[in-house]
Structure 1
Amino acid sequence: MLKSLYDWTMRLAERPSAEIWLFIISFIESSIFLVPAEVLFLPMAIANPKKVWRYGIIASVGSILGGVAGWMIGYFAFATIAAPVLEFYGKLDEFEAMKSGIDINWILLFLITSGAAHLPPLKVVTILSGVLQVNLLLFFVAAVVARGGKFMLLSWLFAKYGVSIRDFIEKRLNWLAALAAAILIALYLVYELLKH
């Protein structure tokens, strides 16, 4: 499945409208959409490594602004917009479970883990931040660090290694996704142990 999605996005990445789609997907992924922005960012960076910093900025800005939109949905319109969206994706129960007993430290941790590897899903965390009335400036800074940092790191890797990284990613796409998830889960567990 990942390979067919990768092939589709490689074709999309070569279209003239790819940058617009990158911004749109980055924006809505942070608040209501299921597909992560990396699905389009990575093929675009592979297809045109010379524009990788531009793509990183577009994805970062879209994702950060989308996160703020998610926060606003949670803060102002949970019952009318957020709850139906979360229910549609089957995430409403997960959201309700997360909401009970959570504090600002958890929110910041979730922003980092969801911003880096979508654990838990980013839209859940942004909406939850609004529902719990997390300070918007603090939320914005955390989103800049988590999402902006991730896309800038990816941009640096592509700028440094260029097209040679394409074969590495194409051959190891599933393995890389699993490794990123495992690292973030391990960091989360370490955080829990240190906290207690």
Structure 2
Amino acid sequence: MLRGLYDWTLSLAARKSAEWWLAFIAFVESSVFLVPADVLYLPMALSRPERAYRYAIVATVASVLGGIAGWFLGHYAYEAIAKPVLEFYGKYDEFEALRMSSGIGFIILMLITSGAAHLPPIKVVTILSGVIGVNLLLFIVLAIVARGGRFLLLAWLLRRYGEPIREFIEKRLGLLAGAAAVVLILLYFAAKYAL
């Protein structure tokens, strides 16, 4: 099922309405969808490099709006909507573990690592932020920084290096960003428990 969803998302890049699809995918990825917007963003930016930054802005704005929707789901509709979505994706146990152990500082760190490296998935963090009541304005600012940073970095890499960087991005950038996220999380715990 996941591969079919991935392939369908990738096929949207060839459509005339690709920019609208990018906005839609980026929006729903931040609240309920499993496939990251990068799957659509990368082929679009490679096929029209002069629009890479435009696509990055579209993806950022839509992703932040989707994150706000996820925050509202967590804050106002956790039992009715958010919990069933998390159970459907098999993320409920992970979510509950994070919820029980998370303070605002950790949520802020997770929002940055999730926005930049999908660790943990962005929808989990946006819903969790609403459930525990992270200040909405702070949430929006952090989402803009994290998601905007990710998409603008991808735009810069694609504009600078073109097609040769695509394989690196698809295979290794997530791993490198994930490793950086793990280091940030470890540093957070080290600072928290050392003080």
Q: Same fold (TM over 0.5)?
A: yes
The sequence identity of aligned pairs, in percent, is 58
CA distance in 1, matches of 2:64, 2:168: 30
Once the two structures are TM-superposed, the CA of residue 12 in structure 1 deviates from its matched residue by 3.0
Mapping of 1:78-97 within 5 angstroms? 78-97=78-97
Residues 53 and 129 of structure 1, relative CA distance in 2, 3 Å threshold: same
Instruction: Name the TM-score, length of structure 1 as normaliser.
Output: 0.89
Q: Which moved more, 1:81-90 or 1:166-175?
A: 166-175
Residues 142 and 189 of structure 1, relative CA distance in 2, 3 Å threshold: same
CA distance in 2, matches of 1:125, 1:136: 13
Q: Deviations over 1:5-25 (max 9, x none)?
A: 988766532321110110000
Once the two structures are TM-superposed, the CA of residue 72 in structure 1 deviates from its matched residue by 0.3
2:167 matched residue in structure 1: 170
Instruction: Name the TM-score, length of structure 2 as normaliser.
Output: 0.90
What is the Cα-based RMSD across aligned positions, in Å? 2.2
Mapping of 1:24-63 within 5 angstroms? 24-63=24-63
Once the two structures are TM-superposed, the CA of residue 79 in structure 1 deviates from its matched residue by 0.4
Q: Deviations over 1:84-143 (max 9, x none)?
A: 000000111111111113111011100000001110111010000101111110111110
Residues 75 and 10 of structure 1, relative CA distance in 2, 3 Å threshold: closer
Partner-residue secondary structure (3-state), 1:156: helix
Q: Which amino acid aligns with 2:82?
A: A
CA distance in 1, matches of 2:136, 2:24: 22
Q: Which amino acid aligns with 2:190?
A: L
Q: Which moved more, 1:66-75 or 1:184-193?
A: 184-193
Partner-residue secondary structure (3-state), 1:100: helix
Contact conserved, 2:22 with 2:40, CA < 8 A, in 1? yes
Partner-residue secondary structure (3-state), 1:42: helix
- Is the counterpart of residue 192 in structure 1 residue 193 in structure 2? no
Residues 97 and 156 of structure 1, relative CA distance in 2, 3 Å threshold: same
CA distance in 1, matches of 2:177, 2:71: 25
